[in-house]
Copies of this chain bind each other. A is one copy, B any other.
Amino acid sequence: MATIRDVAKSAGVSVATVSRVLNKKGYVSKESEKAVMSAIASLNYEPNSVARTLNNKSSSMIGLVVPDITNPFFPELARAIEDVANIYGYTVVLCNTDEEVKKEKQYLHALKQKYIDGIILTTSSLSDEDYSKLNIPIVALDRVIDDKTPSVFSDNKKGGEMATEHLIANGCKYLAHIRGPIGVGPADDRYEGFVETAEKFNVPYIVVNADFHLDRSREVAEELLRNHPNIDGIFASSDVAAAGVMKAAHSVGRLIPENLNVIGFDGIPMGTMLTPALTTVKQPIYDMGALATRLLIKQVEKTRLDTYHYKLETKLVVRETTKNLEVSHE
């Protein structure tokens, strides 16, 4: 492969001059530029990015840290991130941490060694100072780390309210919430939205704890439905949990939506694949990923951010697991 020396020689100039035209930096006479350009073309020269990285301490790579790409919430996020990274000439390194501190540390470390330019964190097992000690631009996605770290997340509380209002508007008289993991910000916010709305409208409700996973949600939902057969509206804290609720309803012989409304949260593609298709509160997943990446790149390129925290709107997507129970009773 041709190097910058080869180009310099072939163009009859110094490597410094070649470097200048490569980077469009500093003065270069028209003639020199021409000579360099044609040398580059004829030698099929491409600057070596590793050598550049070593000098610039910048690799044009960003790291994406997720708990587990297998969780259906993340692929779309990853796609968005990669898409906009690609537009700006960055490449993305994928890291699954399983929320393990050790793995996360190890990855952040490895990324730093590689002069990674920035990191998008969708998990945060470490302490704030661990992150700031890293001294690499970070954007928090689907969570908030601290005030100084830019973050992108959706309005989970309002989403919880929307879900609950929808159930109530549909005539549900006894609500339940399959709550996500306690202590996880988005899950807590959705819970709050649920509780406040149910109370605001004076509708009785029950909350049961689960995680975001299918099996656990299914179990608790089944028990819930058996013990409280008059529940007629369930808000699950994630779409996957809602799928578990649907299975539970099937087990106990409840018909969705005819005598049980179910609504999820997230808006992942799986929801459309269910039968009946899942009504949900959709987060703008792709937009979240895209925005986070833009913010990160801005930081990398030292552009001042005007806003640090972006709360994006969620949207009610009515599909087939909810319907107006009063109308249907007629």
User: Measuring CB to CB, which residues of chain A are less than 8 angstroms from any residue of chain B?
Assistant: 46-51, 53-54, 59, 61, 64, 68-70, 72, 74-76, 78-79, 82-83, 91-96, 109-111, 113-115, 214, 240, 243-244, 246-247, 250, 269-270, 272-277
Using CB atoms, name the residue of chain B closest to A110.
B91
CB-CB under 8 A for A93 and B274, given A70-B79, A79-B70: no
Using CB atoms, name the residue of chain B closest to A106.
B86
Complex partner residue of A74 from B68, B75, B113, CB under 8 angstroms = B75
Complex partner residue of A75 from B48, B70, B93, B273, CB under 8 angstroms = B70
Say whether A51 contacts B49, CB under 8 Å. Answer: no
Say whether B94 contacts A82, CB under 8 Å. Answer: yes
Contacts of A72 in B (CB 8 A): 72, 75, 269-270
Contacts of A244 in B (CB 8 A): 273
Q: Bound state CA distance, A82 and B94, in angstroms?
A: 8
Say whether B53 contacts A214, CB under 8 Å. Answer: no
Using CB atoms, name the residue of chain B closest to A89.
B110
Contacts of A243 in B (CB 8 A): 273-275
Say whether B78 contacts A69, CB under 8 Å. Answer: yes
Say whether B69 contacts A96, CB under 8 Å. Answer: no
Known: A50-B53, A92-B94, A214-B273. 9 other contacts (CB 8 A): A47-B113, A68-B79, A70-B79, A74-B75, A82-B95, A91-B114, A244-B273, A270-B273, A273-B274
Complex partner residue of A79 from B53, B64, B69, B276, CB under 8 angstroms = B69
Residue from A48, A76, A91, A244 having most chain B Cβ neighbours under 10 A: A91
Say whether A49 contacts B113, CB under 8 Å. Answer: yes
**Min C-beta distance of A93 to chain B, whole Å:** 6
Q: List 10 A-B contacts (CB under 8 A).
A: A50-B50, A50-B114, A69-B82, A70-B76, A72-B72, A72-B270, A83-B96, A243-B274, A247-B273, A247-B277
Complex partner residue of A94 from B94, B115, B240, CB under 8 angstroms = B94
